[in-house]
Structure 1
């Protein structure tokens, strides 16, 4: 009996000593990142299970809490990047109301026009207008350059993050191999599993993942959409074809040969390739946030600035042509004055079919033959049907009959195009003869012939022009979209800078240099005249164009960006709370609680003392028996 007690107490000491070692290890790693609390549960052994033996060391892992933690980690990385970029984007426009902010600079420009209208003979007032115009063009260009700088930064970050993700997948494959090779009682196995979980947690911050534990102890990693990135020791390699510094024309396309930005390709061990962006394989994490910002959010911000620059320029140089209802007694339609029509001066016809559905036909004039194809996304209405047609170039005969014929050919059967009886030579009558019913007609028609046409007989003037070449802005698509990137190229016309009298001098005006008509008309065109701004700008709803004055559009841009930054910040704060909650839940189940471990240590020390006393008693019994 003494021998049995001796054997049992010895086994108990061994087990207790091993448990004390595990608890000590837990205490020593209380501040170690990624460390999961270890446990050791004794197992019965011997005849009739009367003995005890050391079991295997296991991790106190709550798999459900860990899965939730990774999900919230992906979401937090996503919202953090979105919030950070939105905040930087909002800062590009300045603090609303500040003199140096976008709205402050715009207001200074309109105020200078008012001042000039009140005192048109003042040379100082003219200089102030030109200075304010230059400040406004520079401010718009600075914001647009900032947008592209943010996009370029995200392109670089995507390259870095993709390399990191690919490295983590390779690391996970190696850890899987080592874990499979380790036996269940190998003391290094829990450490390897901790390292693997840390790598998985890091990967979850980059992309949304689902880690599936296999029967051999390895894990397989899939994206949230189900694309396998890791299967035991076989890891996909991720690559990113970075394009460097991005411009306004650098946009994403599912076809890599046409895309102006990089994409992420996963190459499987078998050599297969999956475009993770084109397939929509990743849906959260910092990589997804960077993609959305680079390809959607920031291009829309660029479009807003391009639309603003275009609206500013065209408010100075264009005349808004609005159709008036017309009929020949049988057919109905609209008369519209297109005198001065230039390439890019889109003619928008709103038509209604038999079912009552309304849509826009956009007739896009071009100087090229055949005309270039025009994407609807580049016009005011991304849902419109765009019909390009050729008109005579500047310097050629601008016979109104030729333009009417071109419009008639573009519209085709179902519409009748003619001159307007008793109207201007450039006025056009468009009637429906069986096609969809016409409900509205409008156009923005450039009234100056070139950037050097600074006086003219009308109030319009090319105050803002396109780039260092001082090209007249008309919205042309003849050599690519003139609108795209215009915010970065807009500048004050050097011909007007060299002759500030053209701000008030109109050919044929009796008052000459003292005429306030032009500055007053320019002020009204900016602050009161309702212009059409594109649906792609996202001001007033993404699905339809919006009408507002240029002044209201400036406020709309600032308001939209401010609201987006605030919403992104609120979302990030909410996600941070969710992540903190998930971390707390995981820590409570799998983390080291120093108080609990100290209590366990005291209990184990008492158990060790009890086993030692049994050994002492057994030894004394044996000594007594030996002395008998």
Structure 2
């Protein structure tokens, strides 16, 4: 009996001592990142011989760990988005301040209004030119800031992808170590340490991209992307690479076609050698990498488009004349007469059409000189849902009607407008099968920047500094004239050198004539222009009609709203992350109070076992003395 008691007490002391050591280890690592609380599970020994140490395991809550990783990826996404959106909003300046975009636009409008009061004042003309230059430099500066943000994200993507690839290799290596240590006689503590390290690496990986973690029977894990691409399988890991392009410009955009892609992409190379474009396949949906891609390829590209549209609107408002179709019918056909005299490459002619089923859409006739790409991307026009039809106008006004008819094909009848000016055309169709519901165009009046004496108010006040200070027409010859125009916006050097062009429109304009100053003021503040749906102002499915000033204010409002929304989303996500961290810490972290309470229990058990040993010893001593 005494021997059984001695064996039981001895075993109890050993188990209690091991448990006390584990409590000490837990307390010592209470603040260590990634450490999961350990518990000792004793097992009964056969033959009523007490208990044995058993196994050491981690008190891991798999559900809370999964949620923690999900919220970590989400917080990295919203955090970067909020930061970049805030920086983008700051580029436009503090609304209402003199140096902000709305401030310089209003100052320019006021300078033109002042010029209408006294067009003979050299000081007023100089003030108007200076205000115009400030508008141009402000818009180009903001646009350059947008591309600087894109370049910064390109650099961050290279760094994040490299870090993520390193983590994948480390996780695969830990898989191998865990499998090798599992089942060894002294492996429980070592396995727990390796599991902590692996979980910590996966948590770090979640900052960069969202991953799905699957536990395997041998102790390893498999990591998959949201789309199902394997990143880690047992001891093998995919490598991630990013082919960054350095400094980005407005024309540098993502494309699934490597030959057209102007930015870097994330490529995963599996151990078997297969290569997967993770951006093209949409495999990464959260984390800092997904946020950087979305900001670089969507948010900032749209911001650039808004600035390009603003610059184009500013230029064309003072250089173009509106051409609206006049309804006409002949021989049972209906349509429009429209004066396209002076039509230049890029001066899109928009026709509204409706088929017999009542479905309508826009058809855009895009004038070219034969060097435009085929097909022309409708996303670069006012209406991305329109059908874009190129029209070769290189033959001049005399061939315009024939070329339009050739481009439209059957279903339309096109001819020169009877009694109209050269370049005026009549477009008819059968309303029973394909009705014309509208026709309009914006025709650029000056053919070159030096042509300031156009005989009308319209002239090239703003020009394209990147094209030899040429007149902006929206041409597609050699590429889109619109893309990146905001960076190239400049005041016409001919106006800078001779500011009388703000007043003199014919070379013989009478002193004090306010016609051109009034035209410029109205063009900026009263004339309604069509801005592309691609800018995202007022919706993404229809063009926006607004004045130049009104569109500028809409851009500023949109940017401020986007920044505020990103900030609010991030604040909510950070709360969600903190909640997930708290839950995981409560379930799997070390509570010093709980460990101290456990220590007291273990000390009591240790004392009880020690008393049994003492009693057994005393009993044996007594027996030996008999």
CA contact (8 A) 2:373 2:479 kept: no
CA distance in 2, matches of 1:231, 1:470: 58
Report the counterpart of residue 14 of structure 1 in structure 2: 14
Report the counterpart of residue 263 of structure 1 in structure 2: 265
Report the counterpart of residue 27 of structure 1 in structure 2: 27
Unaligned runs of 5+ in 1: none
Deviation at 1:368, TM superposition (A): 2.2
Deviation at 1:509, TM superposition (A): 5.7
CA distance in 2, matches of 1:69, 1:183: 26
Is the partner of 2:555 in helix, strand or coil? helix
Give 1:113-262 correspondences, 5 Å limit. 113-184=112-183, 185-186=186-187, 187-262=189-264
Deviation at 1:389, TM superposition (A): 1.4
Deviation at 1:56, TM superposition (A): 1.3
TM-score, with length taken from structure 1:
0.97
Deviation at 1:369, TM superposition (A): 6.1
CA distance in 1, matches of 2:197, 2:290: 25
Summarize the Cα distance change of 1:414–1:311 in structure 2 as closer, same or farther, 3 Å threshold: same
Give deviations 1:510-559, integer Å, cap 9, x for gaps: 52x42111111111111111111111100010011111111110011011
Indicate which of 389, 414, 419 corresponds to 1:417: 414
CA distance in 2, matches of 1:370, 1:225: 38
Summarize the Cα distance change of 1:508–1:501 in structure 2 as closer, same or farther, 3 Å threshold: closer
CA contact (8 A) 2:182 2:219 kept: no
CA distance in 2, matches of 1:328, 1:217: 82
CA distance in 2, matches of 1:105, 1:323: 35
CA distance in 1, matches of 2:578, 2:358: 53
CA distance in 2, matches of 1:21, 1:371: 75
Give deviations 1:147-180, integer Å, cap 9, x for gaps: 1011111111111111111100100011000000
Give 1:90-489 correspondences, 5 Å limit. 90-184=89-183, 185-186=186-187, 187-368=189-370, 373-392=375-394, 398=396, 400-433=397-430, 436-468=434-466, 469-489=468-488
Deviation at 1:421, TM superposition (A): 3.0
Summarize the Cα distance change of 1:546–1:491 in structure 2 as closer, same or farther, 3 Å threshold: same
Is the partner of 2:18 in helix, strand or coil? helix
Is the partner of 1:452 in helix, strand or coil? coil
Report the counterpart of residue 58 of structure 1 in structure 2: 57
CA contact (8 A) 2:372 2:479 kept: no
CA contact (8 A) 1:370 1:390 kept: no
Give deviations 1:229-252, integer Å, cap 9, x for gaps: 111001111111111111100010
Is the partner of 2:214 in helix, strand or coil? strand
Is the partner of 1:47 in helix, strand or coil? coil
Unaligned runs of 5+ in 2: none
Aligned length in residues: 621
Summarize the Cα distance change of 1:370–1:506 in structure 2 as closer, same or farther, 3 Å threshold: closer
Is the partner of 1:42 in helix, strand or coil? strand
CA distance in 1, matches of 2:268, 2:372: 42
CA contact (8 A) 2:34 2:197 kept: yes
Deviation at 1:183, TM superposition (A): 3.0
Is the partner of 1:281 in helix, strand or coil? coil
CA contact (8 A) 2:371 2:478 kept: no
CA distance in 2, matches of 1:36, 1:19: 16
CA distance in 2, matches of 1:151, 1:619: 80
CA contact (8 A) 1:242 1:261 kept: yes
Summarize the Cα distance change of 1:215–1:458 in structure 2 as closer, same or farther, 3 Å threshold: same
Deviation at 1:340, TM superposition (A): 1.2
CA distance in 2, matches of 1:104, 1:55: 75
Deviation at 1:55, TM superposition (A): 1.3
Segment drifting more, 433-442 vs 161-170: 433-442
CA contact (8 A) 1:371 1:390 kept: no
CA distance in 1, matches of 2:272, 2:372: 47
Segment drifting more, 252-261 vs 106-115: 252-261
Is the partner of 1:175 in helix, strand or coil? helix
Summarize the Cα distance change of 1:210–1:88 in structure 2 as closer, same or farther, 3 Å threshold: same
Deviation at 1:329, TM superposition (A): 4.9
2:528 matched to 1:530? yes
Deviation at 1:580, TM superposition (A): 1.1
CA distance in 1, matches of 2:115, 2:399: 41
CA distance in 2, matches of 1:370, 1:519: 36
CA contact (8 A) 1:366 1:372 kept: no
Report the counterpart of residue 584 of structure 1 in structure 2: 582
CA distance in 2, matches of 1:380, 1:509: 38
Summarize the Cα distance change of 1:23–1:278 in structure 2 as closer, same or farther, 3 Å threshold: same
Deviation at 1:423, TM superposition (A): 3.4
Deviation at 1:419, TM superposition (A): 2.5
Report the counterpart of residue 561 of structure 2 in structure 1: 563
CA distance in 2, matches of 1:608, 1:316: 93
